[in-house]
């Protein structure tokens, strides 16, 4: 497991907000009025206090729930992305290892990618890259940012071709068609944001000889990439499960 280093010598945090008894109870003739509590009074007070605590937390922006997610092994290693590589009928796949990871006081991040080759149906090889990103927001809720970016291609900040809500993943999930050659699935779960992107390649501007020298074979056009959305969803389930699993 990638453990978070102990932080020392950081800036002082602001103190807790204090409400004194003088703010709550009136004084009668210079003396405090005694309170007599019955069972009903205790229950009512508990309910009022719980409601006040929720309102205070909402107003003061408490840390988001990470649902037990802790950065662990590379999500591009092992069989985590197997639902996607099977759907692609991969003849080979190569993970870029080690994954790039960063642990910070506010945000933990991990990035990795997987190169996949698969038959293109015309006697050649289609090529794909799979990109996985995980951001664990430990102090601020990323929901507003997630919703704001839900229809934007993060690589060039242009509007996506289409966006669809996906049910059964986290708090919110959207599948985005970035282009004919790129499909992306984004999931928000508390303070955790997961992104899984599948991109195919075309040889419009690069010769097969050059691509063959770099990747061991020609790279052909990978079209209609949106058909792999169900496989992206299943692979995402694995990514989320693996990062939530307790690790020694």
Q: Convert the pLDDT of each residue in 135-158 to its tens digit.
A: 999 999 999 999 988 888 877 778
d(CA 126, CA 90) in angstroms, rounded, equals 9
Q: Look at residue 69 in the predicted model and tell me its pLDDT.
A: 96
- Mean pLDDT calculated for residue range 204-213: 48
- Model confidence band, residue 213 (pLDDT cutoffs 50, 70, 90): low
Strand-strand pairing, 92-103 and 172-179: unpaired
Average pLDDT, the chain: 75
Entry pTM: 0.69
* Selected residue with higher pLDDT from 225 and 235: 235
Q: Look at residue 142 in the predicted model and tell me its pLDDT.
A: 96
- Mean pLDDT calculated for residue range 172-201: 94
For the cut 60, the answer to whether the pLDDT of residue 168 exceeds it is: yes
Q: Look at residue 151 in the predicted model and tell me its pLDDT.
A: 83
- Mean pLDDT calculated for residue range 171-185: 92
d(CA 90, CA 99) in angstroms, rounded, equals 21
Q: How far is CA 154 from CA 68, 136, 157, in A?
A: 27, 18, 5
**109 has which bridge partners?**
102, 135
Q: Which residue in the block uniquely carries the two structure tokens 């890259």?
A: 129
């Amino acid at each position: 497991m990638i453990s978070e280093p102990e932080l020392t010598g950081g800036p002082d945090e602001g103190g807790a907000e204090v409400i004194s008894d003088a703010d709550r109870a009136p004084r009668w003739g210079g003396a405090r009025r005694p309170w007599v509590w019955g069972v009903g009074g205790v229950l009512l007070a508990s309910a009022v206090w719980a409601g006040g605590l929720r309102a205070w937390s909402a107003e003061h922006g408490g840390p988001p729930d990470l649902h037990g997610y802790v950065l662990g092994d590379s999500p591009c290693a092992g069989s985590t992305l197997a639902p996607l590589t099977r759907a692609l009928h991969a003849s080979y796949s190569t993970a870029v290892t080690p994954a790039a990871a960063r642990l910070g006081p506010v945000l933990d991040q991990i990035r990795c990618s997987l190169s996949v080759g698969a038959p293109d149906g015309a006697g050649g090889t289609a090529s794909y890259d799979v990109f996985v990103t995980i951001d664990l927001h430990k102090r601020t809720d990323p929901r507003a940012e997630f919703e704001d970016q839900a229809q934007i291609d993060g690589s060039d900040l242009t509007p996506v071709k289409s966006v669809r809500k996906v049910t059964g993943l986290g708090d919110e999930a959207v599948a985005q068609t970035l282009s004919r050659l790129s499909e992306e699935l984004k999931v928000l779960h508390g303070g955790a944001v997961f992104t899984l992107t599948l991109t195919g390649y075309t040889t419009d501007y690069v010769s097969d000889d050059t691509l063959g020298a770099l990747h061991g074979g020609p790279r052909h056009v990978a079209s209609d990439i949106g058909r792999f959305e169900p496989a992206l969803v299943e692979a995402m389930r694995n990514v989320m499960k693996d990062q939530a699993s307790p690790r020694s």
